[in-house]
Amino acid sequence: MNFPYEFKDIIIHYNNKNFNEALKLLNDLPKKEEFERFKIKLYASIYFLTGKWKQSLECHNEIIAKNEASFEDYNNLAVSLFNLGRIIEATTYFKKCIEINNKAELSYQNLGTSYLHLGNYEKAIDCFTNALSLNNKNNNCKVMLIDILNYIVPKTKQNNHLLILNEKILNNFSKEKFNKIPKYEVIIQLIDIIKDDLGKEENNIIYNKTEIFRRNNENLNCARHFKVFNKFSVIPEYCFSCYKVQISTKNVSSLIKLFFIFNSNYLENNNVRKCMVETRNNVKENFKGFIYCRGLDEAKKVLKISEKKLIENQIDYKNIEIKHGCTEYYEKHPDFKKINYNGEQEMFYDLSWKKYEKFIDDNSPTVSERVINPTINNINLSDILIIKNWLDYAEIVGDNSFEKIYTSNVSSNFLSQILKTQINFRKQQF
């Protein structure tokens, strides 16, 4: 767009990403009819680039109402709606983007992301595979496609190598073949399969995840709670009733066996649970499993049941204990860590903290349209990729038990980078 001479300084600030200065000059421009078309375009773009989604939505709606919208305007409108939690409405405009240009991979990616959040996994798969057909190096689409495999078994393979790989893994872990904990040899075979396939340049993927979840319908909403804590150093009310059973295993081989247990329906309430390797600075223990509980009484029951499972399956663990909330809270609120097993807790929620929670909620988009679905207990491509990362981690921190499981060379640039300042600490955790 060729802007009038009066916009010269504004465009300079805009191009230099000095958006506040650009807005000031925009606001100071005289009200002339010939300027309005240019002003609304700049307002819309600045609000979009600075994440002011309500203002961005208003401006882009105005542009569309004047029949002056481009592909970019429809896309920015849809992204604004998505970030405001209006995901269903956003899909309409992402579809419009595809109508305008069916070769734009980002539109398929954005529409797929919307369907993913709405729990419409088959449609999301269609979108991601379409994006990958346009650009098979789109790592974001690959990661989201793999993430979906935690929730459904796709109806078709879409001639996509990731879906084909996942089907091979599912066939190896069919319920008919395994009604007890699988043997390590099967994991090794599957890691070798994915290494051969994903080692090809055209199939390469960066999957930097280290946690395997098994979820129910409950939304723990941890990202929101950490927003409250990180901004105001207060613990949200929800977290006071959150207890976790933490299991620390001695090595990576025991962590894999623990994951096999977590992959089964052994808990009455199908509690949210995860297995992970520890990457946080100065947080003790390397190999962990967590089971999330609502209240101390449930945590006690889960601990008892889980301890019995550990013994039955001969899992080599260091300890099993109940933790209150998240470790990140303990430094600023040491009393929160303490648990009274036979009465009231030492620390209570401070009602004056409600105003801080309200501030975060009032300044965050509504996410009421987002669907929380349970994961399926099928060992899938995502699980195998993460277990591969666990084995890389084990080699880096000096856990030689991985050699009994996997003899091929392992390497992980992202884990080496994360752990480079922690090596001595991590090795002390054995």
Could you tell me what percent of the chain has a pLDDT over 90? 73
pLDDT at 143: 97
250-300 tens-digit pLDDT = 999 999 999 999 998 899 999 999 999 999 998 999 999 999 999 999 999
Here the CATH number for the domain that contains residue 28 is: 1.25.40.10
> Domain ends where: 377, 397, 425?
377
**DSSP state, residue 36:** H
Local confidence band at 192 (pLDDT 50, 70, 90 cut-offs): confident
Residue 178 has pLDDT above 70, yes or no: no
Residues 6+ apart with CB under 8 A from 152: 121, 122, 376
State the Cα–Cα distance between residues 186 and 391, nearest whole angstrom: 15
What is the crossing angle of helices 33-49 and 8-15, to 10°?
Answer: 10
Local confidence band at 202 (pLDDT 50, 70, 90 cut-offs): confident
| Residue 314 covered by a domain | yes
State the Cα–Cα distance between residues 296 and 222, nearest whole angstrom: 19
Sign of the alpha-carbon torsion through 389, 394, 397, 403: negative
> Domain ends where: 100, 123, 139?
139
Q: Is 358 helix (H, G, I), strand (E, B) or coil?
A: helix
pLDDT at 267: 94
pLDDT at 256: 92
Number of folded domains in the chain?
Answer: 2
| Residue 76 covered by a domain | yes
State the Cα–Cα distance between residues 368 and 217, nearest whole angstrom: 14
78-115 tens-digit pLDDT = 999 999 999 999 999 999 999 999 999 999 999 999 99
Domain span holding position 119: 5-139
| Residue 80 covered by a domain | yes
pLDDT, mean of residues 371-386:
92
- Mean pLDDT score of the chain: 91
Task: Judge contact between 244 and 303, C-beta under 8 A.
Answer: no
Local confidence band at 181 (pLDDT 50, 70, 90 cut-offs): low
- In 44-165, the DSSP E strands lie at none
Q: Which of 55, 57, 6 is nearest to 32 (CA)?
A: 6
Q: Are residues 248 and 346 in the same domain?
A: yes
| Residue 317 covered by a domain | yes
| Residue 392 covered by a domain | no
pLDDT, mean of residues 309-325:
94
| Residue 170 covered by a domain | no
- In 149-225, the DSSP E strands lie at 211-214
